[in-house]
Structure formats: C-alpha cells, structure tokens
Structure 1
Amino acid sequence: MHIEQSILDKVNEWLTPTFDDKTQEAIKEMMTSSPKDLEESFYKNLEFGTGGMRGIMGVGTNRINKYTLGKNTQGLSDYLKKSFPKEQLKVAIAYDCRHNSDTLGRIVADVFSANGITVYLFSDMRPTPELSFAVKHLNCHAGIVLTASHNPPEYNGYKVYWQDGGQLVPPQDGEIIEVIENLNYSEIKFEANESLIHYVDEAVDEAFAESTVKNASFNTSASARENLRIAYTSLHGTSIKMVPKVLEKAGYTDVNIVPEQAEPNGNFPTVKSPNPEEPEALTMALALADKINADIVFGTDPDSDRLGVAVRNNEGKMILLNGNQTMVVMTHFLLEEWRKAGKITGKEFIGSTIVSTPMMLELASGFDVECKVGLTGFKWIAKFIKDFPELKFIGGGEESFGFMVGDAVRDKDAVGAILLMCEIAAQAKENGSSVYNYLQQMYVDFGFYKEYLISLTKKGIEGANEIKQMMIDMRDNPVSEINGQRVIMVEDYQNSTAKNLLSGEIENLTIPKSDVLIYYLEDGSKICARPSGTEPKIKFYFSVNCAIDSINDIPEAEKQLDQKIKNIIAEMQLN
C-alpha cells in the first residue's frame, strides 16, 4: 500500500537512536507485516480531547507510549517552570488498573523529577477523583492521572489537572499543547531524580475519605444507613480502593460486593465494556441484587469517575437509571438540603452541560439558584467554580453518568456520588418511599423529561473523515422541520452562533467553540450532534418532555415520549 511521505518522515525519525531498540524493532516489524497499522500509528499526533489524551497503546505518534507521554510531560514541565518561575514546583500522579498504567505513571514521575519538580506518586492504583482532591490537598501546581476511563483494554490515557484540581481548560491547554508540539523527542529528560519522588497513600486516602463523608452526608440516621442493602461492583477498576472504605466510614454496613469483579484487571474479563453507561456492564451486580434483595445497585468505571445506578420500581423490579436521571435526583436532593439549612441566598449555582437534560434548568428555577451550562466535560464545571468565586457551587453533573458534590473534588466523582445516592435511598426507605418514587414526584413537579443517546462508532482514518463529513452535511443542509415540528433555533458551537429560524435573528454564543450542533423544536424537544472528544464516535442526544398532573400519568406519557424519540430517529435516518 502507498504511505504518504509525511508519515514516512515521522517513521524514520522514530528509527533514530533517540528511540530505544525495542521501539525501533516494533516499527520495523510493522513496516514488513502490517503497513496499515504503521499508517494508523503515525498518521497524526495524539490530541487532547474532552477528557485529556486517550489512545491505543503501542509505538508511534498516534499511540500511548513512553515517548508520547514523555513529550507531554517534558512540555508540561517547561510550561510549569515558565508559569511559576520562583516556586518549588510540585505535581501529584495517580493511575488506574489498566495495562502499563503503573509503568507509564513511573515514567511520567521520572520526567518531572528529571526537570527538578517534586513528585507525589501513588504507589498503587487510585480513583481519578482522589487525584483531583490530592492536587489541592498537597498544594500541587498540577496533577496527572494515567487512565483511559471506560475505553477498551488496549487503550490508555493522560489527564492533566491544574492547581485548583480541575482539568486543563483554555487558554492553558492550548498554550501547553503548543509547547509540547515545539519539542523534539530528543529533548525529553528521562533520567529520574529519585530524591524528588515521594510515594503517597494512606494519608491522602484518609483525607479524601473524610472530605467525601463530610461533603456527601446529610443527617441520615444511623439505623437508616444500616438498613440500606447495597450491591456494588467496581467492574475490575479502582473504586474498590475507596468506595467500601468511604461507605463504611459513613455508617453503611450492608455493602455487598460482586466478588468476580472485585479484583482490578485491565482486561475487564467479565464485561464487554467496563462502562456503567452500558446496561450489560451491571448484569452481575443486578443478579447479586436480586439474590440478596438489595435496595440499590452501583457500578463504576475503571478510574471511578462514572457511576451506574439501579433502583427498585414500584413492582420491586430493579431498573437502571440513566445519567440524566441520577443527576437530577442528586441535584434536587442537594437543593432541598441546602434550602432546609437556610443556605440558599441567591449566590449559589448548579452545573450542567449543553448535551444534558434541560430539566436541570427547571430545578434551578424552582429553587432560585443559577444553572451554569457548559460544554461536555467536568473541566467546564470546575472552570465555573474558579471563574465565579462569589458564587457557591452546590453540585452538578452530565448525562454521561458523572456527578460532582460540592467543590472539594473538581472532576466527576463516583465515590462521593455513590455516598450521596445512598443518603437519598436510605432516607427514602426510612420514610416508606424509594428513589424511584422520589424521581417520579420530581416529574410531576418539574415536567417529565425523557432522554436518549445514539452513539455511532467510526474507527480509524476513514471513520474520522466520515464523522467530519456528517457534521459538515448537517451544517450545510440544516433541517427546518423534524417529526412535524418546526426547528425554531439552531445553535452551532463551532461558529459560536444561535440562529432563530423564525425571526432570522442570530446571536453570539459565549460558550467556547466546539464541534457541536443543537436543534430546538417548537414542542420543546432538543436534538444534539457531537463527535466524541475521546473515542472514535459521533453521538446524537435526544431530549423530549411533557407536563403531567400526577404520577399516574407517567406510563402513558412515557409511551408518547418514547414514540416521539423513535419518530425523530427514523426521520433523521439514524436507525
């Protein structure tokens, strides 16, 4: 096959003595046996997306390896020195259960230390939210976590956190990327200064657990906590390090762990995907729940920032909640607790994202707080906390099964969210109710919202081009009517415009640019198209809603909304 000269130039650079023999041998093997893999490995440089940098492990510029991560770390070291010229720099590093995470974590630590930067490294895997917490707790200038979240086993990744414990946001991300791209691989300092590398474990664990219990506990009686029966799975990931510890510390004694999935394992052998967004991932936890008659089920992804939740419905059957449902339940409970405590003064806000349920806006309005809506990714919610110090952050989430309670952690946090959901479930059970009933009553009070997601996978160079073309087509040929409803507004975040199709008026969007399109229909429906920033996918988000007078109206309303979503999908030819 023909390989472009620009790719061959990169390949030849990697065959120089800057790169170790093992790397060079792997490249030579690909050159003879698999030119297609060679092209995929070198056709571009790995990029920072919504959740840092993720990619397949292997050799090449488009792969996760010691050189691509070494270059990132060298660039970040240079940037930190320029940003804090008179300070002794400190960074924290954590990693998850994935293959090579511990080795890559150590390489990153070596490069930082070789640059004279003090490193606090966890000696074993830890949840991502604990790293976010540790950055602030240890007064670090930055933090790194090695994780590919819920991606398949062949992936790994590199997330960068700043002083506030939040992920990198503009303009810093762009500035750091520029520094990295201007570096040569020969400039990476790999020789560790051992005296600057310090292992941190129990002290940070204890502080993180205490902080979580303080932030996510709300006057639940000891007996209610003891009476809540929990089924929990870590899906072979890192949450096993902290979730049982935090629940025990908070007083939850009936915690039942899926034994087959408790052992961390980067192959994730018992699931097709270690992603709690996928219903199949919680199959074993649901089976355990039925066996022991549990009240609630939790599952987390490998780095423990996402959580899946299942609760019993009125017939006693376990049903999975989606990310929008868990987000509104937790947010509503927090708002109620803050109001009870007299802490809502008009200077508070909740956070959400442009692809999440509009029900969050209704909650904010109902409790007289602000709802700040940003792009996908918790780095934007963390940025709101930093940008509006005069406002208190209550909590917030996004549809992709993430939630953040308060501001001690500045990223999505399954550890704190699980404890908060336990508080809600325990109090509801003690009062003869349930999480399911709690959600149903919210639909009566704030409107019945139903969301749905379609995710189309398009791998490799061809897939990336196909996704790009789909977005171009939707921009160049915008629809004016869907399912018999007029499109009244189109928001194009790439062009930063919101166009009213009825009046022709165009407003400028203040949210940073991103490749996202949102259609708003005259019946309140919302359709969003967005290429994923971390996976080879294009995602379509649907939100429909209607008003209901009582809980008894829900079954019929749900049928109608489900049909509406089916009609929209069929008309857009996405099924």
Structure 2
Amino acid sequence: MSEISTIDKAKLWLSDTFDQETKDAVQTLIDSNSPDLEDSFYRELEFGTGGMRGIMGVGTNRLNKYTLGQATQGLANYMLQQFQGEEIKVAIAYDVRHNSKEFGKLVADVLTANGIKVLLFKNHRPTPELSFTVRDKKCNGGIVLTASHNPPEYNGYKVYWNDGAQIVPPHDEAIINEVYSVKFEEIKFNGNDDLIEWIGEEQDDVYIDACIENSTYQDVGKGNLNIVFTSIHGTTYTTVPKALEKAGFKKVDLVKEQMIPSGNFPTVDSPNPEEPAALEMAMDLAKITNADIVIGTDPDGDRLGIAVRNLEGEIQLLNGNQCNTILTYYILDQLKKENEITGKEFIGSTIVTSDIFFDIAEKFGVDCKVGLTGFKWIGKMIRDFEGQEKFICGGEESFGFMTGDFVRDKDSCGSIVLACEIAAWCKANGTTMYEYLIEIYQETGMYYEGLINVTKKGRDGAEEIQNMMRNFRENPPKSLAGSAVEEVKDFKEQTNFVISENKKHVMNEIPKSNVLIYYTQDGTKVCVRPSGTEPKIKFYVSVKQDLNSKEDFKSTLKSLEQKIEEVRKDLQLN
C-alpha cells in the first residue's frame, strides 16, 4: 500500500471531527498551495519521552487543540489503567506563551471529561513550581504547557509522574503507545469544571519557603549584595523577587520592562539566558547600579543565566558548567564543614555535562551519577536510590540546576537563592564568584567548554542531521586538536570502543540514545547529539588543562579557547 500523500492527510482534517475554525485554516493551506502545508502534515508531531514541542498551527505536525487533545486523552487512558480504583489528580501549569493559558484549560477539560481531578494554576507559573506541586499536593501526575526558550511561534507539553519528575521508563513508552493509539474522534473535549481546583498565590508561598529551606547554608553579607534580576518576560516574575526578599537580600533591582509577561518576548531576539544578548538590558542596568551579580531566567523559569564581575571588573556571563561548578562545590564544602557527608551521598550530572563534577565528587567523598541529557534522568536517579543514598544537588550544562529533592526538575528559584548567597559570602570576604571559580579550577584542573550548534530546518534538515550522525558514527575522527581519539562511546549501540585495544565494550548502564562521545588522550571530550526540541545537531566540546595559579588563568583560558577552535576545524563545522 502506498504512503498517504501530504494533501490527502490534510483533507482528513476537513471532516466533521474538526471544528470550523480548523477546517477553514486547513482549506486555506490547500487552496493557496502554501509551503506550510507540507511541513504541517508530512508527519505526526512527535510525542517523545517527555512530551512534545512544536510550532503552533493546524496539522498533524503542529501544536493545536487536536494534537494536545490526543496526547492528553492517551495520558488519561494510561492513568486510568495505572491508578484503578483511586481518585486521580493531575496538576497543570503553563507559561507566558501565546495560547498557553487556553491550552492549559483545554488539557484540563480533556482530563476532567475522563473523570480525572485537575489542580489548575490561575495564571502563569514556573515549571519547577509545577514539579513541586505534584509532590506537595500528592498528585498522580502533572502537565506544563511550555516551549522553554524556543521562539515565540512554539509551544509545548511536558508530562510529570507522581514523584514530580518528568516521565521515564517504563511509563514514557507506555504513554507514547497510548497517545498514538488515540484517534482524533475519540478525544473527550467536554470537560467537567466541578473537577477543577484552582491554585493561586498561596502555593507560591509554600514553594518559595521550600526553595529557601533547601538552598540556604549561611547568612553572610546578604544585605550588602547588589543584584539585578530579569524574568525576560517569563513566569518567574511570580516567584523570584519574592524569594530573594524573603531570603534576606535587600538590594534587588528588576529590569522592569522585562518583568512584564509576554509571549512575544519583545525586548530580546531569543528569551534564552544561555545567550549574553538575552541579558543585555540586565547588564546595562548593572552598570548603573554597580551590581555584583546579574541573573535571568527563561520563559518557564527552570533555566537560569548568571553573570558576575570578572577579573577586569566587567560583568560576564558564566556558562552552565561554570555556574554549576560553583554551586556544587559550595554546597559540598558547606556540608563537609558541618560534618554532614557520610559517603552515602551523590550528585547528579549528564553525559554532555563537564567531567569536572567527577573531580568535585571525588574531592568531597560523594558519588557522581550520570544520566542522559535532561533533568528527568536526574529525577530518576533520585527515585532509584531513595532510601539508599541521599541526593545533594544536580546540574546540566544547559543552564539548569537544582538543590535537594523537593523539586524533581531544574529549578531557577532555589538556584538563584543559593547563587546570591555565594555571591554575598564572596563579597563579604573581599572576593568574587569569578575568583572563587578560579580557586576551584586550581584544585580540579581548569575545564572549559564550547557548544557548537548546526541548524538544519524542515524535512530535508531532519534527514541531513540523520546523515551527519551516521557519518560521525561510521567514520569517527582519528584525532582532535592534535590529540589522538582513544575512546568512542556510542549510546545508541551501547558500546565503548577503546582504540588501543581495538575492542568494543558493552555499555548498558544508561538507556539507548542517539549520542556519540569521543575522548582524546589529553582529556578533550566531544559529545555529538541531535537536539530533541530544536532542528539542530549539537557538539559539546570540553577541554582541560592544569591551572597552577590565578596569574596563569588568562593564558590558560586563551589556550583552551584555541583548542576548542581546533576541534571545530577538525570536525569541519563552519
């Protein structure tokens, strides 16, 4: 049987299963022979192992009433099987994006139409507050409508289980199967508002108190720290300013223009705190206020960017690994001083994150567990070792961190409280967070990272990314930046090929994933993976060199930057 054509797929959306607005929009695409027709219908929007993310609009490859309804009906079907005979509760939050509030109510309606109780936030709330609420309110699951830091035309849908973490095996694959078995005509859209409990500011206070409790170690110099904060038009306007005030910080200046929630993100090209441009207005304000630290968060409030004064006194954005290095080292150092490290503790990291966390863990006598990219795998670690080992903190290179296990996802609010405590402590001791980082590097060796993104959009781009991964898998580089490649880890094949032995070792402690990692003899690490949320293939490059003194920092940094550039050239990435 021949594959159904794109236009025939589109015509299926002209049936009475779909509302008139949807049918009119589809007919317009067909009549105009718009190039968007192909991209809207050539495939089904992937419901991945954590949910889905895509451009909003009509079609099977778009986020809309029907693709969201299908996902939610599938989730409802699965939960009704899993929790037979008990009242099922699901918490729902949403960010500032276009349609997020409407999508939140739509998703709630599908759940209540299936007899499931919903705890629905009245207004925008950060993703980590949703994770916290699932556990705090003893829910069976949670949903957040967000596309994180993607452009304004995107939205998304993330699913959480009863531990407050995003879904992982075996639930993820089972839910995916249920979702794809749902026909559009089977979706129950007629909700029951009697099954909705609305949540407001009272939940913010409980969450903020937990953030402070889990992220506070000492009270030194908090009243003397100058902070600039921006929510970059996102959800944390509801939590972070209040948390900083409650934690004892007196000098907090807000970027007022960016504290206004907006799905257009009008003052930035991208609402991503990983990019210095997103913090430009905050940095400009820092010059006026003589701020010690600048902090920004992404639209759904799980990621944070931190900028501090460098050796020249200029505000500089730390990368995710640098930020997490400071936070992790400080926490473990405080616990060690309080004699609270017993050897039964662990920190969490990911395969694309810097290996410095192994060094830090070894120094303080704790374990460093590593999972696939994404905080759901750190959440799984917490669940897997609950009652056996104590989780301290976890982070990944993409500007995410969490302290303690009260939230089971990256949490900017608690991380900001902690970062500001460290900055205040440093200032009170006549130093800075940047100098503190250099001191850590003198102990562990200096690690430096670069992220190279190659964007390939649309259907052709997706195929090109597949071909690139195939080529890197079949033809790994012999050397990188002048150092021979000695190991090739293939997480799809679950093998570790050791070049000197000419032998592949089985590597099945981490689930399969389309990721490659090359290690060279001098400690250079390159991870290659397609993005799960954007049309990109990503190259995470980590290089390392001994740092003997603070005076050597600049020359060492220059050497490491040059090495990353050599890696880029060797991989032929323009």
TM-score over 0.5 for the pair: yes
**1:49-75, Cα deviation, whole Å (9 max, x unpaired):** 475310000001111101101111111
Question: Quick one: distance in 2 between partners of 1:108 and 1:343?
Answer: 44
Count, aligned residues: 571
How far residue 507 of structure 1 moved from its aligned partner, in angstroms, is: 1.6
Give 2:325's aligned residue: 328
Which range is displaced more, 67-76 or 27-36? Answer: 27-36
Q: How does 1:85-234 map to 2 (within 5 A)?
A: 85-221=84-220, 224-234=221-231
Question: Quick one: distance in 2 between partners of 1:27 and 1:151?
Answer: 25
Matched, 1:439 2:437: yes
Which amino acid in structure 2 is aligned with residue 542 of structure 1?
A: V
Give 2:66's aligned residue: 67
Q: CA RMSD in A?
A: 1.2
Give 1:337's aligned residue: 334
Give 2:404's aligned residue: 406
Q: How does 1:368-407 map to 2 (within 5 A)?
A: 368-389=365-386, 390-407=388-405
Give 1:259's aligned residue: 256
Which range is displaced more, 40-49 or 368-377? Answer: 40-49
Which range is displaced more, 133-142 or 50-59? Answer: 50-59
Which amino acid in structure 1 is aligned with residue 432 of structure 2?
A: S
Give 1:530's aligned residue: 529
Give 3-state SS (helix, strand or coil) of 1:527's partner.
Answer: strand
Which amino acid in structure 2 is aligned with residue 377 of structure 1?
A: G
Aligned mate of 1:288, from 285, 291, 309: 285
Q: How does 1:22-41 map to 2 (within 5 A)?
A: 22-41=21-40
Matched, 1:490 2:481: no
Give 3-state SS (helix, strand or coil) of 2:11's partner.
Answer: helix
Question: Quick one: distance in 1 between partners of 2:182 and 2:552?
Answer: 62
Give 1:315's aligned residue: 312
How far residue 550 of structure 1 moved from its aligned partner, in angstroms, is: 1.3
Which range is displaced more, 499-508 or 44-53? Answer: 44-53
**1:128-176, Cα deviation, whole Å (9 max, x unpaired):** 0000000001100000000000000000000000000000112211100
**1:158-195, Cα deviation, whole Å (9 max, x unpaired):** 00000000001122111001011111111111111111
1:118–1:196 Cα contact (<8 Å) kept = yes
Which range is displaced more, 367-376 or 5-14? Answer: 5-14
Question: Quick one: distance in 2 between partners of 1:313 and 1:459?
Answer: 37
CA separation of 1:51/1:552 partners in 2, compared to 1, >3 Å: closer, same or farther?
A: farther
1:144–1:158 Cα contact (<8 Å) kept = yes
Give 2:57's aligned residue: 58
CA separation of 1:287/1:225 partners in 2, compared to 1, >3 Å: closer, same or farther?
A: same
CA separation of 1:94/1:218 partners in 2, compared to 1, >3 Å: closer, same or farther?
A: same
1:49–1:534 Cα contact (<8 Å) kept = no
Question: Quick one: distance in 1 between partners of 2:345 and 2:480?
Answer: 37
Which amino acid in structure 2 is aligned with residue 486 of structure 1?
A: A
Question: Quick one: distance in 2 between partners of 1:52 and 1:68?
Answer: 11
Question: Quick one: distance in 1 between partners of 2:434 and 2:447?
Answer: 15
Runs of 4+ in 1 over 4 A off after TM superposition: none
1:50–1:377 Cα contact (<8 Å) kept = no
CA separation of 1:189/1:278 partners in 2, compared to 1, >3 Å: closer, same or farther?
A: same
Which amino acid in structure 1 is aligned with residue 427 of structure 2?
A: K
1:309–1:326 Cα contact (<8 Å) kept = yes
Question: Quick one: distance in 1 between partners of 2:557 and 2:174?
Answer: 47
Give 2:12's aligned residue: 13
Question: Quick one: distance in 2 between partners of 1:247 and 1:482?
Answer: 44
How far residue 43 of structure 1 moved from its aligned partner, in angstroms, is: 1.1
2:483–2:522 Cα contact (<8 Å) kept = yes
Q: Given the two structures, how large is their TM-score scaled by the length of structure 2?
A: 0.98
Question: Quick one: distance in 2 between partners of 1:84 and 1:100?
Answer: 30
Give 1:555's aligned residue: 554
1:50–1:534 Cα contact (<8 Å) kept = no
Give 1:514's aligned residue: 513
How far residue 483 of structure 1 moved from its aligned partner, in angstroms, is: 2.6
Aligned mate of 1:268, from 265, 268, 271: 265
**1:338-379, Cα deviation, whole Å (9 max, x unpaired):** 112211111100011111111011001111100001111000
How far residue 31 of structure 1 moved from its aligned partner, in angstroms, is: 0.5
1:51–1:533 Cα contact (<8 Å) kept = no
Question: Quick one: distance in 2 between partners of 1:269 and 1:203?
Answer: 30
Question: Quick one: distance in 1 between partners of 2:492 and 2:153?
Answer: 31
Which amino acid in structure 1 is aligned with residue 431 of structure 2?
A: S
CA separation of 1:51/1:86 partners in 2, compared to 1, >3 Å: closer, same or farther?
A: closer
1:133–1:408 Cα contact (<8 Å) kept = yes
Q: Given the two structures, how large is their TM-score scaled by the length of structure 1?
A: 0.98
Give 3-state SS (helix, strand or coil) of 2:14's partner.
Answer: coil
2:7–2:30 Cα contact (<8 Å) kept = no
Question: Quick one: distance in 2 between partners of 1:457 and 1:527?
Answer: 18
Q: Which runs of 5+ in 2 are unaligned?
A: none
Give 1:426's aligned residue: 424
Question: Quick one: distance in 2 between partners of 1:131 and 1:6?
Answer: 40
Give 3-state SS (helix, strand or coil) of 1:247's partner.
Answer: helix
Question: Quick one: distance in 2 between partners of 1:554 and 1:251?
Answer: 34
Give 3-state SS (helix, strand or coil) of 1:408's partner.
Answer: coil
1:347–1:391 Cα contact (<8 Å) kept = yes
How far residue 558 of structure 1 moved from its aligned partner, in angstroms, is: 1.2
Give 3-state SS (helix, strand or coil) of 2:253's partner.
Answer: strand
Question: Quick one: distance in 2 between partners of 1:152 and 1:51?
Answer: 20
Question: Quick one: distance in 2 between partners of 1:65 and 1:399?
Answer: 31
**1:199-223, Cα deviation, whole Å (9 max, x unpaired):** 01122111101101100111213xx
How far residue 315 of structure 1 moved from its aligned partner, in angstroms, is: 2.3
Which range is displaced more, 442-451 or 31-40? Answer: 31-40
Question: Quick one: distance in 2 between partners of 1:347 and 1:8?
Answer: 59
CA separation of 1:103/1:183 partners in 2, compared to 1, >3 Å: closer, same or farther?
A: same
Matched, 1:354 2:351: yes
Give 3-state SS (helix, strand or coil) of 2:489's partner.
Answer: strand
How far residue 572 of structure 1 moved from its aligned partner, in angstroms, is: 1.3
> Identity across aligned pairs (percent)?
55
How far residue 34 of structure 1 moved from its aligned partner, in angstroms, is: 3.6
2:229–2:296 Cα contact (<8 Å) kept = yes
Q: Which runs of 5+ in 1 are unaligned?
A: none
Question: Quick one: distance in 1 between partners of 2:473 and 2:67?
Answer: 34
Give 3-state SS (helix, strand or coil) of 1:502's partner.
Answer: helix
Question: Quick one: distance in 1 between partners of 2:117 and 2:49?
Answer: 27
CA separation of 1:541/1:26 partners in 2, compared to 1, >3 Å: closer, same or farther?
A: same
Give 3-state SS (helix, strand or coil) of 2:341's partner.
Answer: coil
Question: Quick one: distance in 2 between partners of 1:490 and 1:462?
Answer: 28
Question: Quick one: distance in 1 between partners of 2:199 and 2:571?
Answer: 52
Which range is displaced more, 538-547 or 480-489? Answer: 480-489
Give 3-state SS (helix, strand or coil) of 1:329's partner.
Answer: helix
Q: How does 1:470-481 map to 2 (within 5 A)?
A: 470-481=468-479
